[in-house]
């Protein structure tokens, strides 16, 4: 079964009708439901400073029931959609925060509104063009940017951040420190290990359930597949089992849903003529004792490429360049705790209130940005986290 989630509504509606005629109106009702969630939760829980329990007082009383924190995403989707294929597609949005649609709260269906109504946008040149733009803006504003300068400690004086120490031994003084590495890594590796308040915060952060991780292959493919798009998802046959493998059994799914992005479809310069660049991503558990990536990664790589081949896209004999990333690699390369991509798990209903604040607990003038603090993971949310951290730092001056 093939569904092209295109911008052309009549064309998309015809495809939905072929799956289940009643889902055309059901899909429109679902979009209205997701838009309502965005209207209610966006200003309070996403686009503002970190929410508190008092944030609920800013939600109009008649809107409260629509949030339905007691309902999971899948159950909410089933109220509107009958086709198992379309349910699977809409449940996919849980993975945008490293969660399971069978565990994550229905509130996260708000993500569907952002993508399906707001659209999918691509910065020409790729996502790294955003980094280049921010670099230019910072440089033009007089910011001194130092790369390849590993920070080994955040320095404190009288309980407040006063600078950082580099791996070379050099200390850099600062009136405030903003850390965009995983919050758990900051408390476990960059801050002093003594002191009861820091110890309590560290214990709390390190003992929360984490989001999922990912297994990725970056492939240079020596052929083209005209019927594939920029974004492609090859769904598993048993979605519930897939997420049980990840979050219950701590192992990568035997029958994974596989995402393949081919940016050369939009940016021809990203691959030579007659070639394609494939980014292949599979949801995986964070690093744990249940699966040894060092020993089993090659076999799992073969499994993933075999699964793609069963859909009619066999690239195994056409790979000119390859780079593999396991959760272990993600942990090593980015200092993400357990290789989790989004920090704290979103599989629990109220974890939006347990996500680490952008203002560090127990340390003055230390702030957090990135995917493990408010408002969450993914490039748009991370950019928002930087805005919040900057506003807090300026306010505290």
**Residue 154 and residue 342: Cα distance in Å, rounded?**
22
Which SS3 state, helix, strand or coil, does residue 98 take? coil
- Quick one: which H or E segment has residue 366? strand 366-368
Q: Are the beta carbons of 94 and 108 closer than 8 angstroms?
A: yes
**Strands 171-173, 177-179: parallel, antiparallel or unpaired by DSSP?**
unpaired
Alpha helical stretches, state H, 123-247 = 128-140, 183-185, 196-206, 239-247
Q: How far is CA 384 from CA 110, 334, 335, in A?
A: 17, 20, 21
Three-class secondary structure assignment of 260-318: EECHHHCCHHHCCCCCEEEEEEEEECCCCCCCCHHHHHHHHHHHHHHHHHHCCCCCCCC
* Backbone angles phi and psi of 259, in degrees to 5: -100, 130
pLDDT at 41: 85
pLDDT at 56: 67
Give the single-character DSSP code of 59.
Answer: S
**Residue 391 and residue 369: Cα distance in Å, rounded?**
11
Over the chain (397 residues), what is each successive 10-residue block's mean pLDDT? 94 98 98 94 83 72 74 96 98 95 94 93 91 96 94 96 97 97 95 83 88 97 97 97 96 97 96 98 96 97 98 97 98 95 87 84 95 91 95 95
352 alpha carbon, distance to own chain's centre: 14
pLDDT at 68: 78
Cis peptide before 314 (omega within 30 of 0): no
Neighbour-count burial of 66, counting CB atoms closer than 10 A to its CB (0-12 exposed, 13-18 middle, 19+ buried): middle
Q: Which residues in 184-208 are b (16+ Cβ under 10 Å) and which e?
A: bbbbebbbeeeeeebeebbeebeeb
């Amino acid at each position: 079964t093939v569904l092209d989630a295109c911008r052309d509504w009549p064309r998309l509606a015809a495809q939905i009708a072929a799956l289940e005629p009643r889902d055309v109106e059901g899909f429109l009702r679902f979009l209205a439901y997701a838009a309502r969630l965005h209207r209610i939760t966006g200003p309070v829980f996403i686009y503002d400073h970190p929410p508190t329990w008092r944030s609920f007082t800013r939600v109009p009383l008649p809107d409260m029931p629509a949030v339905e924190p007691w309902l999971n995403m899948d159950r909410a989707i089933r109220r509107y959609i009958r086709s198992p294929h379309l349910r699977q597609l809409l449940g996919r949005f849980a993975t945008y925060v490293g969660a399971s649609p069978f565990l994550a709260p229905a509130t996260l269906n708000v993500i569907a509104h952002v993508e399906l109504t707001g659209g999918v946008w691509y910065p020409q040149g790729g996502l790294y063009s955003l980094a280049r733009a921010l670099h230019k803006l910072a440089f033009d504003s007089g910011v001194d940017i130092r790369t390849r300068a590993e920070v080994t400690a955040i320095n404190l004086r009288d309980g407040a951040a006063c600078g950082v120490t580099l791996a070379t031994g050099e200390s850099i003084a600062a009136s405030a420190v903003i850390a965009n590495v995983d919050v758990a890594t900051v408390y476990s590796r960059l801050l002093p290990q003594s002191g009861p308040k820091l110890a309590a915060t560290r214990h709390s952060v390190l003992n929360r359930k984490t989001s999922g991780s990912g297994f990725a292959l970056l492939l240079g493919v020596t052929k083209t597949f005209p019927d594939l798009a920029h974004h492609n998802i090859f769904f598993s046959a048993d979605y519930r089992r897939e997420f049980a493998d990840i979050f219950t059994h701590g192992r990568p799914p035997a029958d994974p849903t596989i995402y393949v992005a081919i940016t050369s479809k939009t940016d021809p310069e990203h691959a030579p003529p007659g070639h394609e660049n494939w980014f292949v991503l599979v949801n995986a558990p964070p690093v744990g004792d249940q699966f040894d990536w060092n020993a089993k990664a090659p076999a799992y790589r073969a499994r993933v490429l075999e699964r793609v081949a069963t859909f009619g896209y066999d690239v195994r004999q056409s790979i000119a360049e390859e780079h593999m990333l396991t959760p272990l690699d993600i942990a090593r390369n980015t200092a993400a705790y357990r290789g989790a991509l989004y920090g704290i798990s979103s599989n629990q209903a109220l974890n939006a209130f347990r996500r680490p604040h952008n203002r560090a607990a127990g340390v003055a003038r230390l702030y957090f940005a990135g995917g493990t603090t408010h408002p969450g993971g993914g490039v748009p949310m991370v950019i928002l986290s930087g805005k919040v951290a900057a506003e807090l730092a300026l306010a505290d001056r």
